[in-house]
Amino acid sequence: MTEQRKRGSTASKEALLDAARDLFAERGYDRTTVRDIAGRAGVNQALLFRYFGSKEALFAAVVARSGRDRLAGSPPDQVFARILRGILDKEHHGDHAMRIMLRSTGEDAVAREIHDRLGQDYIRALAGTTGHPDAALRAHLVLAWIVGIDLLRSVTGAEPLAGADSDHVMACVLPAVRTLLEQVQDIPSHSDT
């Protein structure tokens, strides 16, 4: 009769991960209960603990799966454009990394870890595009802009930013970023790789 018998462990795990990802993004870590997750996944609550051990471990698994293929390794002078494009087009692939991070800042270490892992690659790549003595600071400022844009678009959904055409947004932002990164005081000329 009931055909939801024996879906298989990997399928159940995957369903739990998907449900958890969506709910964490919607409500944040604290306002999401394990009963909610299991319910949306169509899986008994006890299985969540059998497969992941704890709610926090589930969260870690969600984060780990989300931050897997984040930015392969691309020419540094296009990094910013690629990142920005990825964020602006985010509706296409339901990643929700930023929303999860911001909505679930309860466990500080976790959020910090996400930020570091997500940010360090960006920073390194961006800092390589300029020869400033304060290249790291300027790269962080660029990251800050990305984070802010992502936040206003995906979390608060503020118009007109949220609905703006991504090409248009990039055409606005890129020249300003170029000003920030290229604005030179005195650069000793050594070529970068």
Partner DNA sequence: CGGTGATGTAAGCAAGCGCTTACCATCGGA
Partner DNA sequence: TCCGATGGTAAGCGCTTGCTTACATCACCG
* Other beta carbons less than 10 A from residue 178's beta carbon: 13
Which of a second copy, DNA, none binds 189 (CB below 5-8 Å, type-dependent)? none
175: contact with a second copy by CB under 8 A: yes
Taking the C-alpha atoms of residue 18 and residue 63, their distance in angstroms, rounded to an integer, is 11
45: contact with DNA by CB under 7 A: yes
Taking the C-alpha atoms of residue 115 and residue 149, their distance in angstroms, rounded to an integer, is 15
Taking the C-alpha atoms of residue 13 and residue 169, their distance in angstroms, rounded to an integer, is 38
34: contact with DNA by CB under 7 A: yes
* Other beta carbons less than 10 A from residue 63's beta carbon: 22
List Cβ neighbours of 104 (8 Å cut-off, separation of 6 or more): 24, 28, 29, 30, 59, 110, 111
Pick 71 or 176: Cβ nearer a second copy? 176
Amino acid found at 145 = W
Number of alpha helices (DSSP H) and beta strands (DSSP E) in the chain: 9, 0
- Judged by CB under 7 A, the chain residues 54 through 113 that form the site for DNA are 54-56
Q: Which range, of 53-61, 74-82, 117-125, 158-166, touches DNA by CB under 7 A?
A: 53-61
DSSP conformational letter for 90:
G
Among 7, 14, 18, 28, binds a second copy (CB under 8 A): 28
Site string for a second copy, 60-99 (x = CB under 8 A): -----------------xx--x------------------
Six token digits for residue 82? 């690629």
Pick 29 or 80: Cβ nearer DNA? 29
119: contact with a second copy by CB under 8 A: yes
Which of DNA, a second copy, none binds 43 (CB below 5-8 Å, type-dependent)? DNA
